[in-house]
Structure 1
Amino acid sequence: MHLVERDQELTSLTDMIRRSARGAGQVALVTGGIGCGKTALLAAIGDIAKELGFEVRGATGSLVERHTPGAVLGQLLRDIDPALGDWAVPAGVTGGADSAPRGTAGTVARLGPDTLDAETGRTLQSLCAAVEQQARRTPLLLCLDDVQFMDELSLHWVLLLIRRLSDAPLALVMTERGLSRPADPRLRAELHRRPEHRPLALRRLSVDGVEAVLVPYVGAILAPRLAAECHSVSGGNPLLARALAEDSRHGAADTTHAAGRLVVGDAFLDAVTGCLHRGWPALLHVAQALAVLHEDRPTAQTVARLAGVEEAVLSRGLRALDDAGLVADGRLRHAAAAAAALAGCTGEERAVLHHRAAELLYEEGGAPVIGVARHLVAAGTSTAPWAVDQLRDAAERHLAASRPAEARLCLEVALRHCRDDGEQLRLKALLAGATWVLDPTMGARHLVELADALRDGRLPDQYALVLAKYLLWHGRYVEAADAVERIGRRDAGMTDPLAAAEARATRELLSVTYPGLVPGGGADNNTARHVAFAGDPRTRGAAALSDVLRHGPRQGVVDTAEAAMRAMRLGRSTHEWLTCAVSALLFADQTAAAAAWCDHWLAEARGRRVPLWIAEFSSLRAGIALRQGRPREARALAETALARIPVESWGVCIGGPLANLIQANTDLGDRDAAAEYLEVPLPPGLFDSRFGLYYLHARGHHYLATEQPRAALDDFVNCGSLMRRWGLDQPSLIPWRSGAACALLALGATDRAHALARQQLDLAGDALTRTRGISLRVLAAASRPSQRGTLLKSATAILEQSGDRLQLAGALAELGVTHLRSGRGTMADALVDRAAQLADECGAPALATEFKHMLPTRIAPPGARDAVRTQALDLLSPAEQRVASLAAEGLSNKEISARLGVTVSTVEQHLTRIFRKLGVRARGDLRQDRALAG
């Protein structure tokens, strides 16, 4: 093995070997932390000594053989030269059965460790003389590794040998590992007396040294990039650095690891485990205590008590761990080192350590409650009377810091040991809130019990706010009724104006979210709205949403929503109000502002890693993307929402992400995917909530796209009926009239369609909003051909400004057809081409293809027009093909109506779409079409 940054030590030892070869006995003690290369250095100097003609013998001290007399000495003399049998050594001393020289180890093993009797002394003196004589024949290097574990008898012999070092060509090199207890002080005292002694201390590697270790494993290019981090993790310990290099070499070939990153893996864990288990037991106990207290800032006394050692032993142990590069500033350098320290513990042993740590930190006083609770959670059980209070307090702090997963663990352990009924209810209420943002289904099991306790007065009214929201989310409307009522009663009795405003805003939010169940609050009362707007920013977000849903878009609502968000940060007590504020911007037709704010909060939610927040903001952002004409982006966001929170956990709110997915896939032309989402079972009570409106609207558009106009009309009309009944009939929320008008046009009811489109345009107001652009587009479709151009020009201008590119593409295509019918073919081509390009940019290729074929004859040469027309016929639906074929035969609309059993208006609507798709202007063009005639 190539030694790194050990040239000075190797040079010093080589010089020592050369001196001893000239007849000057030498001795050296090499010290250093565990894994710092002492054994490797011994091997290297042994190779050099052999090249210089030395005989090399080695032995290693072992903790398990520390009380075995002669364990080290037996290793050194097990192959002693038979010529030494001439020495006057008692029978059997050198280990053999057949000859005296081979029998030494047997006698040595029987010698007592504490005192040396005369016979033992003579034996050891004889062995020293024998070794010295052997060295005079052939220069001898004795290498003793880990002398701190050397047995007592072998130590006596080594001390005698050191004292005899004089003019014999004999060198003794020993290594001592930095541990919680060093080698016998008699050895060090003897060495300090010898002028030939060379003390050498191996230091940990520098960053450059670690880089040199890395190069053979990860290459010269990657090694410099990893060196600093590897040095930080390993502390410059060569053994640990090589283990990290090994992990990183395998990690570079593993696609699950990022290329060019340091990998802390199994090799490192094994190396740390080996280091800790090669020392005295006290060292491992200290490391385990540090591992258990890894996230705390304990006092030295706490660490010592947990490790079960005296503070003096702790000090030596910390120094030994620091020498090995395992600790820095009194703490283990890396979590992997902590894992390695506890690797040999059973689950029960770990639980005992954590429980003891919790007790010590609590007794110490001043320790963070979160730290105490963490150990109680890890222990899983506690009979301490203070444990439940500590766990509850820690849970509340975790919730305040947006750490619901940690809060949940604390509360579950607290509930396991709480014996007070009232306290159990409060813990369950907290648990419902903690699990809510992880997965709403997890906390649902306690909701009915909590609702009963609230009704019976066993749970304080302060829990009515959150409990009402949880129950309504899951469609538990009967249980929610009492909680909703208590919100109003509690509001009336409040003296804190901010708390009262929050209660009113919560009730108002519920009234516009579940308007079929919760009666409206003070939204129609200007004074109440003013109080809500002027209060806490959390309540102003809800008030802004309520106002825009009940009264339509206005600048004051937009200003209030944005001001509220600027005053808030994402957290447990703000996230729902933030979604309200973003929704207020969306329903005020401020799509760009809504998108920017929602992106900001979604990034915050992802940073906090709270599943419900990520899901809710993803679903909300999907709805915004749909209004921007970005169906592909909307689909991805809605899929993310369902991936974070499963369908069954959304409660009645599932209507939101499902509506987004149905609409997005419909816009993309993937009707099968949209139909699959229509098969998802709907929770009871969905259509008593605002989310049911989204679902009806999206399903209606799917029915329109799949030529089911009557089903579509039913959904749009039902949606409008609910909106009117609830006082939320704002087209900026859902333009249900435009959908119904399209369905009526497909059914031939042009006059009714025109009336609905006109009504929606009036409700949309004069502002240049997306809603007005959509209304103009639908009104154009329901108006006379002579009026369509003007209406569509206005629609395209407004839609381009509002940012809905998919609606803009549709309006441009329809304007192109209008121009074609007026004889402006070149302008029609340009408009339809732009419409197709926009549809492609929006990620709707099916719609882009439809647009490209709207004018199939505009560029085809005369000889190719039949082929183009045949291609265009594929775009006609079966019903349209039947109408087109009969018209090509010369039948009138009335005759086609009678033949097919549909109304004359239906025939007219079919012909309008046929003319558009085939690019023809009159029925006579159909008669000349050979594809239709065939």
Structure 2
Amino acid sequence: MSRARTLEQVLAGVHAAAAGRMGLLHLRGPRAIGKSALVGRLCDEVRDEADVLVTTCRSREGFAAARGLFGAETVDALLTAPDEFARRHALNDLVAGRTADRPLVLVLDDAHHCDSATARWLSALARRIPQPRVHVLLVYRCSERVAAQAVFADLTGALDATSVDLGPLDESDVAELLARECGLVPERELVLAALEATAGLPAVTSSWAEKFRVLGTAPDVEAESAAWHLAWLEDQPEPTRAHATAVAVLGSAEPTSAATLAGISPAAAALIRTELTAVGVLTRSGRFRSASLRKRLLDAVGPDELCALRTRGARLLTDEGRGQEEVAELVVTLPALTEAWMTCALRGAARAGSLRPELAISYLRRVLDAVPGDVGTRLELATQLTAVDPSAAVDVYTELLSDVSSPDDRASVAVRCGAVALRAGRGPEAFRLLGGLFADSGSDRFPVIDPDFRAQVGAMALVNGFSSSATVGQAMDLARGITPPRGRAQGGRRLVQQLARAEVLRGESLSTALAHLRSALPAPGGERELWDVFPVTSLHFCGARAEAMTLADEIVAAAEGSDDTQMRKVALAVRAGLAFEAGELFDAERDARAALAIAGHDGDCAAATVLASVLVRRGDVDLTEQLFERMPAPRDPVEYGWALDAKAHWLWNRGDGDSAIEVLLRCGREFDEMGVHNPVLVPWWLHVVTVLVRLGRFSEATEFAERGADAALRWDTPAARGYALYAAGVVTTDVEPLKQAVVELGAAGAQLDEARALVALAVMLMRTGDDKTARKHLRAAMDIAVRCGSTLLANRTHELLTAAGGRMSAVHTSPKDALTAAERRVAALAADGLTNREIAERLYVTIGTVESHLSSAYRKLGAQTRAELAAELE
């Protein structure tokens, strides 16, 4: 290759020699980097203007290098002089004669082996001959820099010496090589790929180019490069090989530790590192460039020696105060952990939190191999497993419960076990385990325990029990026998939240559920946690929908502020459910999709069931079917009921009324088996009534309407009363219950149910000939359906309105249709660029009202800025 810049420096020295200025150039580089090729190129370049004499220094015998340059017979004839001064003078005369017509270039390869007599003669030549027309080129390996500089110290001091470090081929060299070998002008990406693969090693780069020419694609030459480097290392002095092995053991070439492990000085290690970097063995950061080469170096070391090196290396890193992760990388490779500091290093690295969970787990398993049964290590292992293998974490926690002696510690392990069991889908067995532990607390089997710890165990037992239809009934039985703890300690609040949940599922005592909830709600303005999603849903089903939505908004905001993605995912899914229940389909879909977009499985089922429920209300049969195919298995009774309800609506939309009824009846049967009797939780019975009436099966519908009415008497909320009145009205064709149902459902905030009641009321009025009043109710229902985004209900209402003699354009639903009139006015003014104060003055309202309407508009339209708001309103 050209090595253009380096060659220019050498030629400049030759030209200076021609003018009578002796020059000296140190040409350094690792073995096989192209030093000899450069010397050959030099001979070709200066053949017409200078003589070039080349020798390789191999002997320390006096004037051996000089013999190699000028010929043994010529030099030996001059060395017959009686003293060294005379011999040098004779050599000077020889040079003077050789340079009379042309300058002379003296090249000493492996110059660090040059004999001292020749070195002294060259320094004398530089000082004694006026205007010597000589240029000296000293060629040697980087690792021999110190030796070469020592040999030629006097010569270097006598001349203006120049040094050149010859490294791997650079980008322009590789580009030239590829152009020459492949007959093309290579793109820069190809040149960089070749450099990355070959480290610029001339021989390997040539091979890469040849393979590329044949294959037409970038070849893999890692094995070839590793073989080249390995052969190169085998040809190096022992210190270089030892240092490379030390770096392979330690993983990096930090000067102190690598030098100590190799048994060389830091200065020598620094020089060797420079050479190893130049030849491409190491990266600039001091790590092995090729994992294959590092492995082959380590494989070449005997097992016992390698174990000793790794042990010494780990101790060195520990003594230097290096991070436990670095120490652990060595310790984990040892065949056996024979000393306490080794297990401490692995546990410390796993505990640091910077390792991948899989790596931390492997470290902890190694510790347990050395110290079987260690409780602390098993706890740490279970914690790490939680992130990557929840089911395995449950097994570890379960085994630990029998080995932890302290009651409070045992309670802590039980709570952790319950939390991870939910993620692993093993709620039923965790419920049985924790439920038994809770029942035993205070007994000989599980003696004294902190009351709040006991409450946490009970709360976690109930959460797991409610996570599967198989154990919901048993969990409610357990809850029935628990006396609510007093105070606002964390465990107590969590337990009471679950007791409220049990009351809501049973649907027997609204007052008891509300009393539990009021005592378990988080303090106003206090921190919000993941557990607070439970009272959100309970508040909603107890009729406190506004309070539930406020708490849900606070949890979402807290999760966003703390960057807790798990809590945000679950809270968004819960808020989506509240929005759906209120008929806010746009908001429900937005939150459900946002929850599903967050990594992790917690909340996926709830979000998916809400999304399916939204899609069926819009009549999206195909999209709903696709969602059913990938929907996770429901766990919570509400999720389970919503999933079946969505399936029933989907079947009805497809025209299969009988199958829809069967799915709804299945929901009722399974709720009965669980002991879930709340009429508003999932009003399957009301949907059965509606479908049966539309199929003309009034007698069957009456039975379910009466059942709902009985349940509503026990759970006396506006929604329960509204559902019961709606059912009674459609089965009796009486307008009065329907009128009351509209009022109750409006008070409950169940907009779509209110719209359905309005439609049913209009149908009854049309049968009596009162089309005018029916049209009024249908227009009100149409407004609600469009605002909520229920295309299916809006289309049906439009058909009925047309049949009643009303006029209305075709139905179009979009997010902006969801805005109220006040929200639309405020949003339009904001989109025009008015400030909140200017909008308030224009509309004669307070700034707080403007902010409230704008906030709602932003949420419904999915906008973040006023520019986005304007775009959504176009």
Shift in Å, 1:152? 1.6
Secondary structure of the structure 2 residue equivalent to 1:517 = helix
The answer (yes or no) to whether the contact 2:25–2:164 under 8 Å persists in 1 is no
Which stretch shows the higher mean deviation, 734-743 or 16-25? 734-743
CA distance in 1, matches of 2:624, 2:163: 76
Aligned equivalent of 1:594, options 552, 565, 576: 552
Determine the structure 2 residue equivalent to 1:364. Answer: 319
Amino acid at match of 1:170: V
1:517 aligns with 2:474: yes
Secondary structure of the structure 1 residue equivalent to 2:146 = coil
CA distance in 1, matches of 2:799, 2:89: 109
Shift in Å, 1:486? 2.0
Amino acid at match of 2:74: A
Determine the structure 2 residue equivalent to 1:437. Answer: 387
Determine the structure 2 residue equivalent to 1:164. Answer: 125
The answer (yes or no) to whether the contact 1:59–1:143 under 8 Å persists in 2 is yes
CA change 1:170–1:503 in 2 (3 A) is: same
Determine the structure 2 residue equivalent to 1:152. Answer: 113
1:489 aligns with 2:486: no
CA distance in 1, matches of 2:416, 2:274: 53
Amino acid at match of 1:515: V
CA change 1:706–1:19 in 2 (3 A) is: same
The answer (yes or no) to whether the contact 1:516–1:726 under 8 Å persists in 2 is yes
Amino acid at match of 1:594: A
The answer (yes or no) to whether the contact 2:605–2:639 under 8 Å persists in 1 is yes
Determine the structure 2 residue equivalent to 1:88. Answer: 74
Which stretch shows the higher mean deviation, 515-524 or 499-508? 515-524
Aligned equivalent of 2:146, options 182, 188, 212: 182
After TM superposition, list the pairs within 5 Å mapping 1:528-677 onto structure 2: 528=485, 530-531=486-487, 534-536=488-490, 540-541=493-494, 543-548=496-501, 550=503, 557=517, 567=527, 577=531, 580=534, 589=545, 590-591=548-549, 593-594=551-552, 597-598=555-556, 601=559, 629-630=585-586, 636=593, 659=609, 663=613, 666-667=616-617, 669-671=619-621, 674=624
Determine the structure 2 residue equivalent to 1:108. Answer: none
CA change 1:369–1:156 in 2 (3 A) is: same
CA distance in 1, matches of 2:636, 2:690: 26
The answer (yes or no) to whether the contact 1:50–1:56 under 8 Å persists in 2 is no
CA distance in 2, matches of 1:814, 1:122: 128
After TM superposition, list the pairs within 5 Å mapping 1:347-358 onto structure 2: 352=307, 355-356=310-311
List alignment gaps of at least 5 residues for structure 1: 92-115, 205-209, 217-229, 241-264, 569-573, 869-934
Secondary structure of the structure 2 residue equivalent to 1:182 = helix
1:405 aligns with 2:369: no
Amino acid at match of 1:20: A
CA change 1:180–1:778 in 2 (3 A) is: farther
Shift in Å, 1:490? 3.8
CA distance in 1, matches of 2:327, 2:297: 21
CA distance in 2, matches of 1:583, 1:625: 11
The answer (yes or no) to whether the contact 1:545–1:583 under 8 Å persists in 2 is no
Higher RCO structure (Cα 8 Å, ≥6 apart): 1
Shift in Å, 1:696? 4.1
The answer (yes or no) to whether the contact 1:741–1:757 under 8 Å persists in 2 is no
Shift in Å, 1:170? 2.6
Q: What does the per-residue CA deviation read over 1:889-921, in whole Å, with 9 as the maximum and x for residues that have no partner?
A: xxxxxxxxxxxxxxxxxxxxxxxxxxxxxxxxx
Q: What does the per-residue CA deviation read over 1:656-678, in whole Å, with 9 as the maximum and x for residues that have no partner?
A: 57745754664564546655776
List alignment gaps of at least 5 residues for structure 2: 177-191, 202-220, 505-509, 811-874
Amino acid at match of 1:516: G
CA change 1:525–1:676 in 2 (3 A) is: same
Shift in Å, 1:25? 1.5
CA change 1:88–1:639 in 2 (3 A) is: same
CA change 1:505–1:829 in 2 (3 A) is: closer
Shift in Å, 1:470? 5.8
Determine the structure 2 residue equivalent to 1:20. Answer: 17
Shift in Å, 1:12? 8.6
CA distance in 2, matches of 1:707, 1:599: 42
CA change 1:486–1:440 in 2 (3 A) is: same
Determine the structure 2 residue equivalent to 1:193. Answer: 157
The answer (yes or no) to whether the contact 2:665–2:688 under 8 Å persists in 1 is yes
CA distance in 2, matches of 1:845, 1:758: 30
CA distance in 2, matches of 1:655, 1:161: 86
The answer (yes or no) to whether the contact 1:432–1:443 under 8 Å persists in 2 is yes
The answer (yes or no) to whether the contact 1:358–1:375 under 8 Å persists in 2 is yes
CA change 1:823–1:368 in 2 (3 A) is: same
CA distance in 2, matches of 1:762, 1:354: 80
Amino acid at match of 1:364: D
Determine the structure 2 residue equivalent to 1:376. Answer: 331
After TM superposition, list the pairs within 5 Å mapping 1:275-424 onto structure 2: 282=239, 302-311=257-266, 313-314=268-269, 333=285, 342=294, 345-346=297-298, 352=307, 355-356=310-311, 359-360=314-315, 364=319, 371-377=326-332, 379=333, 381-386=335-340, 389-390=343-344, 393-394=347-348, 397=351, 404-418=357-371, 420=372, 422-423=373-374
CA change 1:482–1:859 in 2 (3 A) is: closer
Secondary structure of the structure 1 residue equivalent to 2:472 = coil
CA distance in 1, matches of 2:113, 2:667: 93
Shift in Å, 1:200? 5.3
CA change 1:453–1:560 in 2 (3 A) is: closer
- Normalised to the residue count of structure 2, the TM-score between the two structures is 0.59
After TM superposition, list the pairs within 5 Å mapping 1:764-843 onto structure 2: 784=734, 799=749, 821-822=771-772, 832=782, 835-836=785-786, 839=789
Determine the structure 1 residue equivalent to 2:824. Answer: none
Shift in Å, 1:566? 5.8
Shift in Å, 1:375? 3.7
CA distance in 2, matches of 1:809, 1:77: 111
Amino acid at match of 1:629: L
Amino acid at match of 2:16: R
Q: What does the per-residue CA deviation read over 1:847-869, in whole Å, with 9 as the maximum and x for residues that have no partner?
A: 8877777767899999xx9xx9x
Determine the structure 1 residue equivalent to 2:817. Answer: none
Give aligned-pair identity as a percent. 16
CA change 1:470–1:12 in 2 (3 A) is: closer
CA change 1:280–1:471 in 2 (3 A) is: same
Amino acid at match of 1:376: V
Determine the structure 2 residue equivalent to 1:928. Answer: none
CA distance in 1, matches of 2:319, 2:254: 9
After TM superposition, list the pairs within 5 Å mapping 1:743-782 onto structure 2: 743-747=691-695, 748-749=697-698, 751=702
Secondary structure of the structure 2 residue equivalent to 1:550 = helix
CA distance in 1, matches of 2:395, 2:250: 35
Shift in Å, 1:198? 2.9
The answer (yes or no) to whether the contact 2:533–2:552 under 8 Å persists in 1 is no
Amino acid at match of 1:503: V
Across the aligned residues of Structure 1 and Structure 2, the Cα RMSD in angstroms comes to 7.0
Shift in Å, 1:39? 7.9
CA change 1:357–1:429 in 2 (3 A) is: same
CA distance in 2, matches of 1:451, 1:829: 63
CA distance in 2, matches of 1:856, 1:335: 79
